[in-house]
Structure 1
């Protein structure tokens, strides 16, 4: 009977692993597909990886995602650790109050938190963008860090800090050399959870960002409205980076122990153990500098280099290479956001999100004109193009004389 139960358990575990990992394998395979098909593999090709690297918006969203996740993880880990330690040594009523405040964001539905943050930023007239996105991520990451650290603090002897100071340690030394090393596993777990939550978040990010600043989840959401295998390519890269990170986390400690043993036999031939963090840190800094340098290069010789065109449109109406070709020819950067309905678009525009070009329906154009949310066009700059249009689509009731709009 016990043997049958073990076999059944192994079968269930195997099926669960297949269920979780088979879609990832399927995605990786079709990221190399020569065609757009997501059901038939027509041949090996790297065209979607090339399209991904040429897509400025996609690469910027990956950059924003990583930067936001790293900063939010660092800040939330520091704040969460300090708060958790302070709470552990506070009075019971203070501890109970902070615990309830900390649990509320985790128990709240994400959509409620997202709308609350959006209304907060609008109330205080804070332009939504990178800063608001970062603040939102820090806010919802801190509770998870504290949740990971609190069990470790509860397991410590409450007199540990006092004992360290009785032995001559200063309060700072008692904190950094006694308390923090004891709770380090909880700190690392909290940091990893914070990074994962920030990297993966969509709902809160969607409502707290603006001005064309998008993380990877928002970018994938906007691209999922039509078949775009570039999503498979960038997702494959993310899986690859995570896999490399997990492998390094498991291999490096083993290599370090092995090198330390060799060091004891032949001193001076190998690097001391304490230099490992410096080497890893130096490599990380060099990689970051190279990445930032490569990211910051712009085509200065192009006619519109350094300028940004913000477009808000329903779905993706342009071809897969149109934006990249336009950016290559003009030197300008294109930030294209999409909306599902005119009402969704109206909410963002009414909340002072600014765009250079909107593509709404006729009735929404009339409403935007009445509420003074559109800028009048300069006839002298578009007259030649207007003369080429059919008169039946010009001078319509919702915008007489085409003062604010042109047919698309």
Structure 2
């Protein structure tokens, strides 16, 4: 039975990652044609770095991702702290409304945001992409921060206030460190959602600006070039890095909570 389980797990992993392995191998293939290996090369990565369009798309992806992640995390933190002061029914209602965008189709979100921006007289471009990415990242950021805020104990905050700390000092030195694992997770997840998004970006970007996902789509319409294999490989590696950081952050959260429980038992 154990052998069957191992074989089944290996099959699932191979089924999921075999296409990505082929993509990575093709990005180092000296041949421009698929299915024909003629030797190892860095040529496609060199051409990728020399492409001004790719560099601009990467810059837009990075700046929009970081900015939207910071703003979404701050908004999620403020909202979560406000929800903590609400009654139970009001809090449940707001949590339900915050979770609806998680279930909504991306194409519906993209079209509705495009219509909203056009209705407000905004020109589609960098700013509208940034606003759209804040909207789609906020529910995920709240999902990371809200549980920690709701289970937070007020004892340490009240103790700091009794010892003469101002509300801001008590928040910065007591509340913020306790919520830091959730805040880091919210930032990383928000950045990953922003960098990976295509549909919402496609409907809100306007002309003359591209992110990596829309640039890949534009290049693929003209034909699959080896540089796209290299770009997709780097994109996948970036996702792996963020996944590793999220897993590391969750381990830190578990250790923190375990240490907190041991302190309460003592």
| Structure 1 residue 146, shift from structure 2 partner | 0.6
Runs of 5+ in structure 2 lacking a partner? 249-266
Q: Does 1:183 align with 2:179?
A: yes
Deviation digits for residues 170-194 of structure 1 (CA, Å, limit 9, x no counterpart)? 2212222222222222212211111
Cα deviation, 1:152-177, whole Å, max 9, x if unaligned, reads 22322255533432343322122222
The answer (yes or no) to whether the contact 2:101–2:139 under 8 Å persists in 1 is yes
C-alpha change, 1:199 and 1:161, in structure 2 (3 Å) is same
Q: Does 1:53 align with 2:45?
A: no
Relative to the length of structure 1, the TM-score reads: 0.56
Give RMSD over aligned pairs: 2.5
Contact 2:26 2:229 in 1 (8 A): yes
2:17 to 13, 17, 21: 21
Distance between the aligned counterparts of 1:195 and 1:9, measured in 2? 35
Which of 113, 118, 126 in structure 2 is aligned with 1:117? 113
* 2:264 corresponds to: none
CA contact (8 A) 2:192 2:242 kept: no
The separation in 1 between residues aligned to 2:37 and 2:198, in whole angstroms, is: 30
Match of 1:64 among 39, 44, 60: 60
Pick the structure with greater CA Rg. Answer: 1
Considering fraction of residues, name the structure with more helix.
Answer: 2
In structure 1, the residue matched to 2:231 is 234
Shift of 1:243: 5.3
- Give the alignment's TM-score, normalised by structure 2: 0.83
Does the aligned pair in 1 maintain the 2:80–2:145 contact within 8 Å? yes
Q: Which runs of 5+ in 1 are unaligned?
A: 252-408
Aligned residues: 247
Q: Aligned-pair distance for 1:248? A: 8.8
- Out of 120, 126, 137, the residue aligned to residue 122 of structure 2 is 126
For the structure 1 residues 247 and 200, does the alpha-carbon distance in structure 2 shift closer, same or farther, using more than 3 Å as the test?
Answer: closer
Question: SS of the residue aligned with 2:164?
Answer: coil
1:30-68 CA-to-partner distances (Å, cap 9, x unmatched) read 112222222221222333223322322122111111111
Alpha-carbon contact 2:192-2:239 (below 8 Å) kept: no
Matches within 5 A, 1:156-167: 156-167=152-163
**1:36–1:227 CA contact under 8 A, matched in 2:** no
Larger relative contact order (CA 8 Å, sep ≥ 6):
2
